[in-house]
Structure 1
Amino acid sequence: MIEYFLAPGSVPFTVALLVMAGLFVFELVALFKGFGINEAVDDFIVSSVDMPDEVFDFGDLSTGETASGLEGSGSPDGGSMIGRLLAWLYIGRVPVLMVLVVFLMVFGLTGLIGQSILRQTVGMAVPGVIAAPAVFFLTLPLVRWCTGGLARILPKEETSAVSTATFIGKTAVIVGGNARHGLPAQARLSDRFRTTHYVMVEPEEDDQVLEQGSLVLLVRRINGRFTAIPNPNAALVAESDH
């Protein structure tokens, strides 16, 4: 049995399952230690990748329509190619690390089962360097199906993964120095789950300076960063203070 898992054609899939197990243990340890590893990874992804403005909302699950009127089999618009792929895998509805665990599990099991079938039917397995890319692409629709199911059954408050497009119109506090045009600074805000996020912000106007500690209103998202204006309404308070 061990020889089967360590055979050249099986190694990529065995490694994937081992990484999955290690990641699962790491998440458990982080959970017991109180580290918000899921939130940190989700924030990093949505801040670093140009995600689509539209994130699927499932609406009526019995009809397959999303709340926004899009079909569940459709693709989100906007964002970079990588961002659209991540949204297609329901990142933004399911925590990134959970999607990664699902991918590693499906990839590893699909590869090992496929190689086993080949050995039993034709007497040989496909070399790992050929099998791994093929299984990778075969795995993606299965991963999407699994993560789509998770997104349907997970209560919305169970995941803090949100589209950065939802930050537009929110207030934030500049915390990473003064922000100038072309020289963004870090700002802090909270989403509807009361999870704190850090985003890069620069002024909407070229000659404006947003000073550290000032309250600003996020108005646009361009290439993974936000433009902002000084808080126009004294009645608005920092989202991070809610």
Structure 2
Amino acid sequence: MMFGQWMDPAFLPFMAAGLAVLVLTAVELSALLFGLALSDALDNMLPRVDIESGEAPGIFSWLGFGKAPFLVVLVVILATFSVSGIVIQHTVLGLLGFTLWPLLAVVLALLITMPSASFLAGVLARVIPSEETSGIHRNELVGCHGHIAQGVATHDRLAEAQIAGPRGLRHWIMVRAERGEQLSPGTPVRIIAREDRTVFMARRVEDPDLLKKKGAAALPG
């Protein structure tokens, strides 16, 4: 199919959705280079739902919002809509020699997108749930130790930390430092509080392994 045909109004809604997926992915990857996460920022800006149960109202719950990160569900919906619409128009064009009226194609694509995106989001929610990580509630990470993995954390800027969870599993979370503190990559930290749905407060600590060695050395022989 020639480039001009892709730019035909019959394909524009689906090409726009595909372009949105590429842009969102590029922005997320670029943000991660600076220790930020677009997905976390969007989750923080959205109205709160029943976080403990992962439920969102009505059709949003069916689509997976509140169970998987908002950005993940949004990308799944946009990608499914884009692929469905392009396949519909391309198939009709090949069989009948013309494309469907854009609005009709959009409606048909949505009919395919809704159940397909719901299924895919449900699968992803089991892999990357929004509220739990590796089977634990995120509140359990408070008090755990780890280190800054990417970015520099200040009170106003988030960074990614790798934390050893209560079951010995590693978790990657977004953290901020206390006021006046700056936490560089590799800095050992302890999670002292959970600020909201996705952000934690981290405090600089001496290397936990070094603390254990000092404690053992202080014991009478």
What amino acid sits opposite 1:114 in the alignment?
I
Calculate the aligned-residue CA RMSD, in Å: 3.0
What amino acid sits opposite 2:196 in the alignment?
H
Q: Does 1:94 align with 2:68?
A: yes
1:1-242 counterparts in 2 under 5 A?
1-47=2-48, 51=49, 55=53, 83-154=57-128, 156-157=132-133, 195-197=194-196
**Aligned pair in 2 of structure 1 residues 116, 241: CA closer, same or farther (>3 Å)?**
closer
Q: Could you list the runs of 5+ residues in structure 2 that have no partner in the other structure?
A: 140-190, 204-221
- For 1:120 and 1:144, the matched residues in 2 are separated by 29
Q: What is the aligned partner in structure 2 of residue 180 from structure 1?
A: none
Q: Could you list the runs of 5+ residues in structure 1 that have no partner in the other structure?
A: 57-75, 167-191, 199-238
Q: What is the aligned partner in structure 2 of residue 235 from structure 1?
A: none
- For 1:17 and 1:195, the matched residues in 2 are separated by 36
**Aligned pair in 2 of structure 1 residues 195, 14: CA closer, same or farther (>3 Å)?**
farther
Deviation, 1:85, is 1.7
When Rg is computed on C-alpha atoms for both structures, the one with the higher figure is 2
Partner of 1:91, secondary structure, is coil
**Aligned pair in 2 of structure 1 residues 53, 39: CA closer, same or farther (>3 Å)?**
closer
Give per-residue Cα distances to partners, 1:39-61, cap 9 Å, x unaligned: 221122233xxx457746xxxxx
Partner of 1:8, secondary structure, is coil
Q: Percent of pairs identical after alignment? A: 26
- For 2:104 and 2:14, the matched residues in 1 are separated by 12
What amino acid sits opposite 1:118 in the alignment?
V
Partner of 1:88, secondary structure, is helix
Give per-residue Cα distances to partners, 1:140-177, cap 9 Å, x unaligned: 1100111111112236327xxx9xxx9xxxxxxxxxxx
Normalised to the residue count of structure 2, the TM-score between the two structures is: 0.56
Contact 2:90–2:99, Cα closer than 8 Å, also in 1: yes
Contact 2:28–2:37, Cα closer than 8 Å, also in 1: no
Partner of 2:133, secondary structure, is helix
**Aligned pair in 2 of structure 1 residues 54, 121: CA closer, same or farther (>3 Å)?**
farther
What amino acid sits opposite 1:146 in the alignment?
L
Deviation, 1:22, is 0.6
**Aligned pair in 2 of structure 1 residues 240, 27: CA closer, same or farther (>3 Å)?**
closer
Normalised to the residue count of structure 1, the TM-score between the two structures is: 0.51
- For 1:195 and 1:109, the matched residues in 2 are separated by 39
**Count of residues paired in the alignment:** 143
**Aligned pair in 2 of structure 1 residues 37, 53: CA closer, same or farther (>3 Å)?**
closer
Contact 1:12–1:132, Cα closer than 8 Å, also in 2: yes
- For 1:25 and 1:3, the matched residues in 2 are separated by 25
What amino acid sits opposite 2:195 in the alignment?
T
Runs of 4+ in 1 over 6 A off after TM superposition: 239-242
- For 1:90 and 1:14, the matched residues in 2 are separated by 24
Contact 1:16–1:105, Cα closer than 8 Å, also in 2: yes
**Aligned pair in 2 of structure 1 residues 16, 241: CA closer, same or farther (>3 Å)?**
closer
Partner of 1:41, secondary structure, is helix
